Copies of this chain bind each other. A is one copy, B any other.
Amino acid sequence: MSELVRVAVDAMGGDYAPAEPVKGAVEALRENSGIRVILTGDKDAIARELEKYPDVPKDRLEVIPTTQVIETGEPPVKAIQGKKDSSLVVGLNLVHKGAADALVSSGSTGAVLVGGQAIAKKIRGIQRAPLAPLIPTEKGASLLIDCGANVDARPAHLVQFAVIGSIYMKSICGIENPRVGLVNIGAEEEKGNALCKETYPLLKARTDINFIGNVEARDIPSGAADVYVTEAFVGNVILKMYEGVAKTLLKAVKSGIKSTPVSSLGGLLIKPALKKTLTSFDISSYGGAPLLGLQGLVVKTHGSSKAKEIKNTILQCIQFKEEDVNGKIQEFLRKEKEEKAAGGQESAE
């Protein structure tokens, strides 16, 4: 690797800041020598955390002191506009100016989404920057695109999500010809709400994606598609149902196991094997959710992220850069523009 990938890390974002973001950054630096980390946040607080790691490669670590912190409860737009010297806004500006290739933040989701689009800016031609987390399925992981803050999407937005999602899954997860499914309430082409009915033929007509048709929510966890295309409101509901049903069900399983002495003993015996299984199904183990279609990369990690998730997310940023995901997205936009121009010419003749 000739050039270091520069990742800014919001050291003040998340429930365990600055301890876990700093630890995650240090571990990423130790694990991969192709990376340079820029921590944004309170100078003294970061220094205190860094003292714990005397072996950190200091030549690849920079700290940019900031004086403000955006809290989870703050209205996003106001926070982004008002707190110019917050760890998040300063980090986003590094991406905007090209001083960092990516920003990783466990801070307020709303602020990351709003700030990502307002400061890091969308790639020219991208109508909306979708938030696209990987979700666990029986077959591995699939991309759920969009779970962001911009609801009430139009069909053209969903088409862009399908293409961008396909590029991401191919480049980052190594899936050749990823299967794209439109989240709908029935399998047949004519099913669904107005948005789905208009989007379906547009997806079907594309030759640059592997559109497999409608997918019902019931089949999402089994891995019916590699890319689940949906509008942000529904995407958010899907993501949170994953979390909620899993949590409630596991609680029920645990209390069922503890209900009798015999089953309690059984519980002890299955514990190690079960723990391993459930880790593979833990939505937080899949790293951060990228906000795609930006000039650069902004990744939102869970508010409750520990060092491991933050480290994994930082390392994913290398792959994003090396695979030139944004270059591929730009290539798609260029072609789309050409097609539109050609289409316009035809109809003008």
Which A residues have a C-beta under 8 Å from some C-beta of B? 110, 137-138, 151-152, 183, 185-186, 192-194, 216-222, 232-234, 236-253, 255-257, 259-260, 262-263, 265-274, 276-278, 280-281
Whether the pair B265, A269 counts as a contact (CB closer than 8 A) is: yes
Whether the pair A237, B240 counts as a contact (CB closer than 8 A) is: no
B152, B237, B246: which contacts A234 (Cβ < 8 A)? B237
Q: Roughly how many angstroms separate A234 CA and B192 CA in the complex, as a whole number?
A: 11
The binding surface of chain A is classed by DSSP as helix
Q: Roughly how many angstroms separate A277 CA and B255 CA in the complex, as a whole number?
A: 8
Number of copies of chain A assembled together = 2
Whether the pair B245, A242 counts as a contact (CB closer than 8 A) is: yes
A217-B236, A241-B242, A252-B277 provided; 16 other pairs, C-beta below 8 A?
Answer: A138-B248, A151-B192, A217-B241, A220-B244, A221-B241, A222-B248, A249-B250, A253-B253, A255-B277, A256-B277, A257-B273, A260-B272, A262-B269, A263-B270, A266-B268, A266-B270
Whether the pair B234, A218 counts as a contact (CB closer than 8 A) is: no
Whether the pair B185, A233 counts as a contact (CB closer than 8 A) is: yes
- Given known pairs A185-B237, A193-B152, the reply for A247 and B221 (CB within 8 Å) is yes
B216, B238, B244: which contacts A221 (Cβ < 8 A)? B244
Nearest CB on B from A187, distance (A): 10
Q: Roughly how many angstroms separate A278 CA and B253 CA in the complex, as a whole number?
A: 7
Whether the pair A217, B193 counts as a contact (CB closer than 8 A) is: no
B232, B244, B247, B269: which contacts A266 (Cβ < 8 A)? B269
Q: Roughly how many angstroms separate A46 CA and B137 CA in the complex, as a whole number?
A: 43
Whether the pair B233, A256 counts as a contact (CB closer than 8 A) is: no
Q: Across the interface, which residues of B come within 8 angstroms of A137, CB to CB?
A: 248
